[in-house]
Amino acid sequence: MSFDEQLLHLIEEALREDIGDGDHSTLSAIDPAARGKAVLKIKQEGVLAGMEVAEKIFRYKEPGIIFTPFKEDGDAMVFGEKAFEVEASVHTILQCERLVLNCMQRMSGIATLTKQYTDQLKDYSTRVLDTRKTTPNFRLLEKEAVRIGGGVNHRFGLYDMIMLKDNHIDYCGGIEKAIDKAAAYVQRVKPGLKIEVETRSVEDVRRVIWSGRGKVFRIMLDNFTPDRITEALKLLQEAGVRHEFETEASGGINLSNVEEYAKTGVDYVSVGALIHQAKSLDLSLKAVV
């Protein structure tokens, strides 16, 4: 499915979860014909994310809304600013309010944390990747927030890349066997699907070099120290294959040490904390009366 198709599904399910058999607070107090305006107020500094999502949520309920943006996704935001104004049925505004806020607060927190990482890496070629350590059924917007914050999306799910992790390798009987079987599977079932292999030692890297050329596109260096990453990259360089494999450092990387990893020259660092450690930012949707 496309991004828009996945977003539509997310919106439908989220509103169904929230509204159930009716928004009885609104139904009991507000005339169905009432029209109104509301403004999104920014109450915390950070990176704004979710503007386009917010508009799509309102338009799902009422295609004819008037949505006036004052800022864009990725903009810096400070306390007291306004992000957008929406004019619609009051029922639409009230029924969409919590979903809009939940999405934008969460997305803005992720985008803000991601920007802190990308700022640390601005003088290096290394780029930051997200992971699959996401909230069930909300991955679409969490990964979009990483992108808005300047990060790079890793695979979205189990279907768009083969990643041979430690358990795959152990269950299969070794790196060489796992690579050969995965490569044969790609040719037979889904040509073009990329293969990444997790390594746990420099010796594992050596084994990927000699068994994975032309098959593996990225080597994950899992829980390697910066010194061990430097050793692994030197091995790739000496074998003349440094540019045949992308490299990804993973495990224990945070804001306090990400620059040390970048100094090694590794292509990517993957950071699960971009999503699972991000804190939602403070936004509010207020009626204009």
- List, by residue number, the catalytic residues: 98, 133, 165, 198, 222
- 201 to 90, 228, 244: CA distances (angstroms): 60, 8, 19
Q: How far is it, in rounded angstroms, from Cα 117 to Cα 122?
A: 9
- From CA 206, how far away is CA 186, in angstroms rounded? 23
Q: What is the dihedral of CA 238, 179, 182, 243, to 10 degrees?
A: -10
The one-character DSSP state at 118 is H
In DSSP terms, which residues pair with 249 in a beta bridge? 221, 269
CA–CA distance, 258 with 27 (Å, rounded to integer):
51
Give the chain's largest Cα–Cα span: 74
| CA–CA distance, 100 with 284 (Å, rounded to integer) | 10
Please tell me the distance from the alpha carbon of residue 200 to that of residue 206, in angstroms, as a whole number. 11
> In Å, how far are 18, 147, 162 from 28, measured between CA atoms?
17, 41, 52
Scanning 30-165, the segments in alpha helix (DSSP H) are 51-61, 90-120, 139-148
CA distance 284 to 289: 15
